[in-house]
Structure 1
Amino acid sequence: MQNKNHTLMKLSILLVSVITASAPAINANIPVLAKAFPNVPLAQIELLTTIPSFFLMIAVLLSSWIAKRIGLKQTVIVGVIMTAVAGLSPIFINSFSLLMVSRALFGFGVGLFNSLLVTIISYFFKGPERSQTLGFQSTFEGLGGVLVTFIAGQLVQINWHMSFWAYAITIPALILFTLFVPSIPKADVTTTKETKVASKAKLPKALFGYLVMTFVVITFHMIMGIKVPTLMVSAGYGTATSASFVILSLSLGAMLGGILFGRVFLLMKDYILVIAFVFLALAMSLIAVSNTTWLTMLGGFFTGIGARFFFPWVLNAVNIGGTGNALATSIVLVVYNLAESLSPYTSLLIQDWLNITNLRDLFWLNAAVYAGLTLILAIVIRIKQKKPTMA
């Protein structure tokens, strides 16, 4: 009986992890939503897919403070309830303003629990089981993104309201987590020795450079996510449903990239960053020339691999030293989510500034940016390797 409850507890935590990567599932809805709200500027329509990142960022900054006051389990439950209500409410909403509010609340709800899940896993599981469960969590996040994107892509063929039924996964996650995950005493939320040591860690000297690079890379990565559906529909070779397959292939690429990252990093060290940018440059070039769904899907797949090679590298870079650097990690996450949330307007500014009217040209620009980063990083890494080390 004890083993059964232990398994159900683990499954309940992992099921909540499924929700954390589900916000981009409606990216393929952009062309359909643009038709449903013809008087709303396209940048605002695209903001529906990125505004969750902004409020997720705010919630991540507040989640530990809230958990100290009401408890870890209670904070996660509040977050999942919020995602359930906000995720499913667009089924019944016809107001664009209310739709925007629901997406913001969805992001805030995810932000309340996504960083706390690691703490909960670390509390209940020890040794090899902890490492195994953290690995499962990453897998469930990826599977969640794929599953919810696929369901939303099929349901959008009925209408855009129906696609939000994909978020029904939040209901069983909420029920199982409430029933099978025990409460954690408030005193145990942030009292570990590792946490205290990490909180005193100094910020890396290269942090500003990491932040600038993160903002640029994630901005152009998100431009791909929000512009691909519009490109496919306007170019006449895709629909909202086929665009959802591109977002799905992006999630599959991210899963593969996550699985391979550790091994590739051990072999290539910092050159994994060069590989990441090569994948991203190639992906954007494929999408720019594509006239078929399958080639655009391949571009999406390569985008997922490149992005998942890049971001873990950044987190590893700011945490070098063994004890971790919670403040630096939080700052990187803030910049990451800020770049995501601002990407519709950043894209608009870039298009206006460079007078880009053809979306294919925007993807060629993306490819050029990543190709430039590939060359710059290869040179920088080479120079660093040639520098003599102090005896």
Structure 2
Amino acid sequence: MTKQSRNIQAGGRLITILSISAVGGLALAVTSVIPKWAQEFPQLPLAAIELLVTLANLGALITLLFNPWLTRRWGSKRVILVGLLLGAGAGCLPVWLRSYGAIAVSRFLLGLGLGLYAPHGISLIVHHYQGAQQTRLLGYQTGIGALGSTMIMLLVGALASRNWRWVFWIHGLLLLVALAVGRFLPPDRPQSVAPVVRTPLPRSAWWLILLTFWTYLVIWGVQLKLPSLFSEKGFGGAQVTSLTLALMNLGGFAAGMLFGRSYRRWGRHVLTAGYMTAAVTVLGLLLSPNQGLAIMAAVGFNFVYSFTGPYLVVRSQQGLAPNQVEEMSSYLTIVTIVSAFLAPIWWNLLGEIGWGPLTQNVLVWVITMLLLLALIVALVQSQQRRIKRVNRPRA
């Protein structure tokens, strides 16, 4: 193989790995067709209609639990390809389906595919890259995910304006990613030929998994309450909110691109600073007197907060054995999905506690939780530094 061919292969592999993260948000991309589904099935309650969106996440939880075992047995390339092909086929089916039950089954199957390929957006970077390059790419992974969600939302909007059923053709993007995986991703050797001794995850990994859950619960709270906040303050309707959410994703993309440099410069302080500055931006969002400042505060929140996700991913992968990487990646994906499920319940319950309207109460609680997270992380990191100093061998 010539040097040029090796460079093409390496570049294609990198683009392929990042593209897996770019299509991670496809399952929720069809949220905009909920009103159309409600018209299609007027005899059903709205909760049943919304279930058609969340069923994909439910299916993903099942295959996520088995993903480490499947990867050891069949290899990551095969598992990813099956997940992408299953997701593409099942995701496009509602273009033709007319019954509620059939659409529900197709959405569940889409989720099964999502759970097969989504965790490998992290684990492939960990397996194929090391050191500063790995840290930088894990930041890119978050940024590309945000950029991919933005582009998918724009494409969904364009398709929905012509025919709402055409929205489901968006899942055809998974076929393009599958072709790239088949062409550029090197095959890995399945580990089923010999019994695998399962090494339990270290205690620090479970702390990071728990922290990831609360971190994502916060961001879902801000995104869930943004439309009602804009409506209550007269800052604009659905169109302005959609634009703001798209700009927020672009802010997340910018943060992902800058993460590697920030992590090298500030290290552990990135997480604490992310929580604290996010609290300031949410306060700015809550107190904004006009639309422009509110949009700036929302985008600023997503920008500074998008440094926390890559930090947790980088720290969670450090010191793991090779056979623990897929397990850790699966758990991180699981807690992000579970947090999305629980966010409406959690924040609406907390919103009942306070002196203002529900939306404002929720944002006050978000600020409180961000400050608590910053304090807890600072205390834990201080304790860890003291332990290292005590255990450091003396000359």
1:150 aligns with 154
RMSD: 4.5
Displacement, 1:277?
A: 0.9
2:296 is paired with a residue of what secondary structure?
A: helix
Unmatched 5+ residue regions in structure 2?
none
Deviation at 1:122, TM superposition (A): 7.8
Task: Give me the TM-score of the superposition, normalised by structure 1.
Answer: 0.74
Match of 1:274 in 2: 272
Aligned to 1:260: 258
Q: What are the superposed Cα offsets for residues 256-282 of structure 1, whole Å, 9 maximum, x if unpaired?
A: 222222322333332222211123323
Aligned mates of 1:368, 1:276 — CA distance in 2: 14
Of residues 308, 311, 327, the one that matches 2:309 is: 311
1:343 match: 343
TM-score by length of 2: 0.74
Deviates more, 1:333-342 or 1:29-38: 29-38
Secondary structure of 2:364's match?
Answer: helix
* CA–CA distance in structure 2, aligned partners of residues 291 and 203 of structure 1: 48
Q: Would you say the 8 A contact 1:22–1:144 is kept in 2?
A: no
Do the aligned partners of 1:73 and 1:181 also contact (CA within 8 Å) in 2?
no
1:56 is aligned with what amino acid?
A: A
Task: Report if aligned partners of 2:351, 2:358 keep a CA contact under 8 Å in 1.
Answer: no
| Counterpart for residue 111 of structure 1 | 115
Letter in 2 for 1:216: W
8 Å contact from structure 2 (residues 286, 363) kept in 1: yes
In the alignment, the residues of structure 2 paired with residue 35 and residue 362 of structure 1 have an alpha-carbon distance, to the nearest angstrom, of 28
Matched residues in 2 for 1:94 and 1:299: separation? 42
Q: Which moved more, 1:349-358 or 1:141-150?
A: 349-358
CA distance in 1, matches of 2:343, 2:123: 30
Deviation track 1:40-73 (CA, whole Å, cap 9, x = no partner) reads 7777666666554443343233234334555544
| Runs of at least 5 residues in structure 1 that lack an aligned partner in the other structure | none
Higher alpha-carbon deviation: 322-331 or 76-85:
322-331
Q: Which residue identity does 2:88 align to in structure 1? A: A
Quick one: which amino acid aligns to residue 149 of structure 2?
Answer: G
User: Amino acid of the residue matched to residue 147 of structure 2?
Assistant: L
- For the structure 1 residues 258 and 169, does the alpha-carbon distance in structure 2 shift closer, same or farther, using more than 3 Å as the test? same
**TM-superposed deviation, 1:148:** 0.5
Deviates more, 1:161-170 or 1:271-280: 161-170
Cα distance in structure 2, aligned partners of 1:51 and 1:302? 32
**Counterpart contact for 1:23–1:49, Cα < 8 Å:** yes
Cα displacement string for residues 6-57 of structure 1 (whole angstroms, at most 9, x for unaligned residues): 3795355554443124344445x38856975788777766666655444334
Distance 1:151 1:285, change over 3 A: farther
Give the 5 Å matches for 1:223-262: 223-233=221-231, 236-262=234-260
Q: Does 1:184 align with 2:182?
A: no
Aligned residues: 382
Superposition pairs of residues 1-391 of structure 1, within 5 angstroms: 3=5, 6=9, 10=13, 14-26=18-30, 29=32, 32=35, 36=39, 52-69=56-73, 72-92=76-96, 101-116=105-120, 140-157=144-161, 161-178=165-182, 180-181=183-184, 184=187, 188-190=189-191, 200=199, 203-233=201-231, 236-290=234-288, 294-321=292-319, 323=321, 325-326=324-325, 327-328=327-328, 330-351=330-351, 358-379=358-379, 381=381, 389-390=390-391, 391=393
Alpha-carbon distance in structure 2 between the residues aligned to 1:282 and 1:34: 39
